[in-house]
């Protein structure tokens, strides 16, 4: 019976492309005609449809409600987040460092991203043989390769011990029950996909939300930075590659920091300005659902009927921001008070630091249907990647200072100057933790640099042995998340990560 169920799951996995919907300005109806793999890839609309389906795998990660949400997994693993939602056991398991392989958040990441990879594999295998405009063909292939690289980059960092599949799979394929691949091979494939996407003719930016050359180069800079650190530790050569690729994005002058932080959660600014690449949502069609999770539990401040209190910032973390840092001011990155639903002239003190950078005020106070996108790559991150990588490769240069000081200038902080390489290294790390907080970036950085941030001393300390401010201490097993139980059960070739 288990084998039969596994086969059924694989068939569903492979054919998801044919029943999925698309998003953003490409939120269109799927082709409702009857078709199979044998007759599907016959016209340009089919190529567009299959590539649209790859984007869909970003959205389940953001689903949120009274059971929390998969995206929270990477935030609770930092020790910098808290929750009021006692029934969200998956959140509590990660937060308290007692996680196990039955955690549904991890299952959502694994299933969603491998579905995206499966659809990308179908696109990459079939689109080259299609009779269609060559420019459009190459751009679609570039999008597919970028997205496959993005999904693998997340999976390898989260789970480590993962299969690498680059061709479509059917019931006769050797990859039906794939074995884990060496991590270096997965990273090599990620780099290959992204470098090939660089040759695809994508525009430097795309306001519709599709993958762009800016997104490709930005992600590649992040990949190189990660390869320079743990676990591969490729060092100086890859820091140089990361800096060079980030510099290409900077030098394109197609992106810039928003003047105010308000634009970060203004739906009218999605896919524009600082936003290089985002997970797409649309009010009344596919609205973002994390709004119910970033408001306090049943305090009556929101028009949403579900006020879950799913996630908010640890007080000590917010108070570790440098004195005068605008990001820590009220209703910049966080909020501690808000008006009541029944009387918007009455302000309620909330007692904790809730997340304002993802707060859709129109949806919260009126429509209860959010048009906000989720940020995946911001220009601020590119600047910080450049500052860190350049400092590692060449020491504290004027260019490295300029990049990090753009971030500090917006935060109304004094510019950095006169630091040693090690001092600038940690200063940039702090800026990354503060600027990219609650964007699913911090845990990846912690594992890459093998450091945790002590919010009391504002210093970095070894990741293994780092104690969260509320008590739990990180063990070596927390360098990875467990491979989901269902995947281990259904695929005898997989090997569970140590400690789970």
Q: Where are the domains of the chain?
A: 2-202+481-490, 281-372
Model pLDDT, residue 40? 83
pLDDT tens readout for residues 272-311? 999 999 999 999 999 999 999 999 999 999 999 999 999 9
Of 30-39, 206-215, 357-366, 431-440, minimum mean pLDDT range: 30-39
CA distance 218 to 238: 14
Q: Please list, in sequence order, all residues whose beta carbon lies within 8 angstroms of the beta carbon of residue 311, skipping any fewer than 6 positions away.
A: 68, 69, 72, 75, 76, 81, 82, 83, 91, 293, 294, 355, 438
Please tell me whether the peptide bond between 231 and the residue prior to it is cis, using omega within 30 degrees of 0.
yes
CA distance 210 to 61: 18
Q: Is residue 25 over pLDDT 80? A: no
Tokens representing 255 are 């992106």
Cβ count within 10 A of residue 202: 24
Model pLDDT, residue 171? 79
Please give the model's pTM, rounded to 2 decimal places. 0.93
2-202+481-490 is classed CATH 3.40.50.720: no
- The burial of 434, by beta-carbon neighbours within 10 Å (0-12 exposed, 13-18 middle, 19 or more buried), is given as buried
Q: How confident is the model at residue 170 (pLDDT cuts 50, 70, 90)?
A: confident
CA distance 322 to 403: 18
Of 42-56, 116-130, 168-182, 371-385, minimum mean pLDDT range: 168-182
Q: Is residue 22 over pLDDT 90? A: no
What is the average pLDDT across 203-213?
98
CA distance 243 to 247: 6
Model pLDDT, residue 118? 96
Model pLDDT, residue 12? 36
Model pLDDT, residue 36? 66
What is the average pLDDT across 230-240?
98
Of 29-43, 156-170, 192-206, 248-262, minimum mean pLDDT range: 29-43
Q: Is residue 354 over pLDDT 50? A: yes
Q: Is residue 16 over pLDDT 50? A: no
Element (H, E) at 187: helix 183-198
Model pLDDT, residue 172? 79
CA distance 298 to 303: 11
CA distance 21 to 131: 24
């Amino acid at each position: 019976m288990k084998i039969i169920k596994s086969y059924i799951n694989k068939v569903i996995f492979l054919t998801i492309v044919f029943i999925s919907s698309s998003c953003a300005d490409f939120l269109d109806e799927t082709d409702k005609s009857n078709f199979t793999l044998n007759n599907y890839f016959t016209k340009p609309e089919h190529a567009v449809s299959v590539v649209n389906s790859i984007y869909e795998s970003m959205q389940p990660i953001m689903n949120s409600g009274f059971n929390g949400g998969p995206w929270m997994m990477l935030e609770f693993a930092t020790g910098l987040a808290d929750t009021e939602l006692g029934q969200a056991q998956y959140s509590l398991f990660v937060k308290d460092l007692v996680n196990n392989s039955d955690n549904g958040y991890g299952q959502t990441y694994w299933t969603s991203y491998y579905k995206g990879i499966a659809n990308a594999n179908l696109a990459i295998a079939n689109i080259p043989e299609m009779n269609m405009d060559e420019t459009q063909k190459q751009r679609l292939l570039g999008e597919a390769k970028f997205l496959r690289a993005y999904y693998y980059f997340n999976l390898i960092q989260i789970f480590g011990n993962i299969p690498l599949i680059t061709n479509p799979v059917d019931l006769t394929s050797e990859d039906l029950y794939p074995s884990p691949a060496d991590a270096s091979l997965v990273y090599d494939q990620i780099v290959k996909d992204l470098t090939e996407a660089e040759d695809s003719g994508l525009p430097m930016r795309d306001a519709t939300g599709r993958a762009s050359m800016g997104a490709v180069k930005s992600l590649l800079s992040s990949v190189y930075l990660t390869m320079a650190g743990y676990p591969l530790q490729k060092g100086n050569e890859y820091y140089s590659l990361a800096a060079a690729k980030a510099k290409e994005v900077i030098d394109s002058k197609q992106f810039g920091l928003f003047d105010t932080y308000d634009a970060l959660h203004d739906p009218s600014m999605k896919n524009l300005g600082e936003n290089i690449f985002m997970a797409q949502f649309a009010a009344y069609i596919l609205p973002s659902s994390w709004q119910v999770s970033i408001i306090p539990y049943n305090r009556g401040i929101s028009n949403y009927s579900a006020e879950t209190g799913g996630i908010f910032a640890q007080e000590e973390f917010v108070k570790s921001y440098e004195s005068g840092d605008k990001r820590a001011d009220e209703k910049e990155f966080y909020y501690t008070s808000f008006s009541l639903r029944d009387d918007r002239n009455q302000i309620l003190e909330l007692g904790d630091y809730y997340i304002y950078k993802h707060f859709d005020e129109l949806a919260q106070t009126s429509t209860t249907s959010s048009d906000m996108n989720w940020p995946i790559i911001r220009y601020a991150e590119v600047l910080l990647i450049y500052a860190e990588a350049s400092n590692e490769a060449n020491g504290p240069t004027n260019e490295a200072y300029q990049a990090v000081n753009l971030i500090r200038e917006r935060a109304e902080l004094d510019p950095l100057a006169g630091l040693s390489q090690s001092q600038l290294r940690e200063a940039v790390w702090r800026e990354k933790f503060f600027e990219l907080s609650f964007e699913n970036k911090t845990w990846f950085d912690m594992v890459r640099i093998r450091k945790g941030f002590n919010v009391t001393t504002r210093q970095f300390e070894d990741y293994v042995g780092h104690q969260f401010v509320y008590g739990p201490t990180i063990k070596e097993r927390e360098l990875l998340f467990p491979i989901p139980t269902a995947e281990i059960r259904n695929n005898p070739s997989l090997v569970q990560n140590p400690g789970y």
